[in-house]
Amino acid sequence: MWTAALTRTLATFTMNCAADDDAFSDADCFHSSAMTKPVIGLVGCSASGKSTVSAALADLLGEPMGQSTADGGAPAGRLSVISSDDHYKPLEACPRFDLDAINWSGGSVPPAFDSRGDADLNHPNAVNWVAVTNAIDAAIAAAARDAADGQQTLVLLEGLLLFGVGAEATRQRVDQWYVLDAPLDDAVAQEVLWRRKWKRSGHFGKPSYAARGVGPMDYASYWNGYVVPRWVEHGLSRIGPVMEECGDGAVLTMLDCRRSPQALAATILERSRALTTGPIRATK
């Protein structure tokens, strides 16, 4: 649930922007002043659609702005995506968590989770942040070369754990943040997310938990007993400290992840352009 402490943290930075959702202001902005850095950060809980929104944003950037393709308009630019998911440490080097501590609906750890093991991939210490930062710097350098050739490039960093302790150097490259989330105290909203994750296949090259024999109620136990608490600890509750750390120029926008990926991508693109001077470009 939204705790009083978390609510106070968010309120510290609140400036209401256009809202179109009754659950929480979508989008709510937390900001200071002008943009200074060249990377946009996209953070979100598990199953919030970070990769899907990134793909939708790439599609938007590939289309001419304000004209149809047939009209011959110049493309808005291209998107360079860095995903922290591509830089996890080896499983044996990750933190651990206690599977037995989860109140499983079936009374014991399901075989699929037993096989998964106890590597805590929802902890920031599971990510090689040096590798993530190096990948961002390489993307920024490539975008600068593109700019010299007249190509507009937007660098997007996406991941679950970008607000975690240990990612400070990575965050120094970002001052425009977008957070995909759904209200924690809305059981229907949370079920949308956990069912999405339960049925999702292909993540880390594996079949879905549903296909591996995990029942919906056991997956709900995993979601409520592990996934959500980790997101609160390393994501939502870190918004205040991260904004203070980023300092002048940092902007954070909360977005309801239940909206369509295309609508979310359009919002991000519109706000990103509004917070910069002139068209999207590699450096500001």
In a domain, 279, yes or no: no
Compare 175 and 141 and report the one with higher pLDDT. 141
CATH number at residue 53: 3.40.50.300
Supply the range of the domain harboring residue 267.
Answer: 4-274
Banded model confidence at residue 204, pLDDT cuts 50, 70, 90 = low
Number of structural domains, the chain?
A: 1
| pLDDT reported for residue 17 | 35
- Sign of the dihedral through C-alpha 237, 240, 246, 250: positive
In a domain, 176, yes or no: yes
CA separation for the pair 21, 6 (Å, rounded):
20
In a domain, 187, yes or no: yes
Give yes or no for residue 236 having a pLDDT over 60.
Answer: yes
Q: What is the mean pLDDT of the chain?
A: 82
| pLDDT reported for residue 156 | 94
CA separation for the pair 282, 284 (Å, rounded):
7
CA separation for the pair 140, 39 (Å, rounded):
8
In a domain, 101, yes or no: yes
| pLDDT reported for residue 50 | 96
pLDDT in tens, 33-78: 334 456 899 999 999 999 999 999 999 887 543 333 334 444 457 8
In a domain, 113, yes or no: yes
Share of residues in the chain with pLDDT > 90 (%): 64
In a domain, 280, yes or no: no
